[in-house]
Amino acid sequence: MDASAQNRLISVTLDENSIGRGSADQEHERAIAVYDLIEDNSFALVGYAGGPYALNISLMDAKLVFDIRDQNGNVVVTHILSLTPFRRILKDYFFICESYYAAIRTATPSRIEAIDMGRRGLHNEGAQLLAERLKGKIETDADTSRRLFTLITALHWKG
């Protein structure tokens, strides 16, 4: 099997006990993020060549848990990351998302675009922080990190 076929995710699930149900928009965003992640990703465990992988993302004691399994469902590794470094970005991201959804109803197109640029900037910052936190454990490309960060935000939607 070549590296591109091995170094990828073939399934991604969000632990339902961690996330609860969101609004219709939130559920739609989650489904799109999972779909996009499965369709196009680069995900490699450092020092392990046994992919492709199945990923379950959950929260445990305010920590992010990446339960990574092989394609047969056997546990490969579990990485637990503190969410403390993400708190400011997540807080700011949710605030700007609320502003964005409110602006869609009443603001001018230029105002909506400005808010959306800020939202994307925070999203990129979160994805970059995630890649840094995974360094030496999991290698991803920028798009995969962005999609994973989207799913991390989904874990916090339940409030």
- For the chain, the three-class secondary structure string (H helix, E strand, C coil) is CCHHHHCCEEEEEECHHHHCCCCHHHHHHHHHHHHHHHHCCCEEECCCCCCCEEEEEEEECCEEEEEEEECCCCEEEEEEEECHHHHHHHHHHHHHHHHHHHHHHHCCHHHHHHHHHHHHHHHHHHHHHHHHHHCCCEEECHHHHHHHHHHHHHHCCCC
Q: What is the pLDDT of residues 84-110, one digit of tens each?
A: 999 999 999 989 988 998 999 999 999
Domain chopping of the chain, boundaries: 3-155
pTM over 0.85: yes
Asked if the model's pLDDT at residue 3 lies above 80, the reply is no
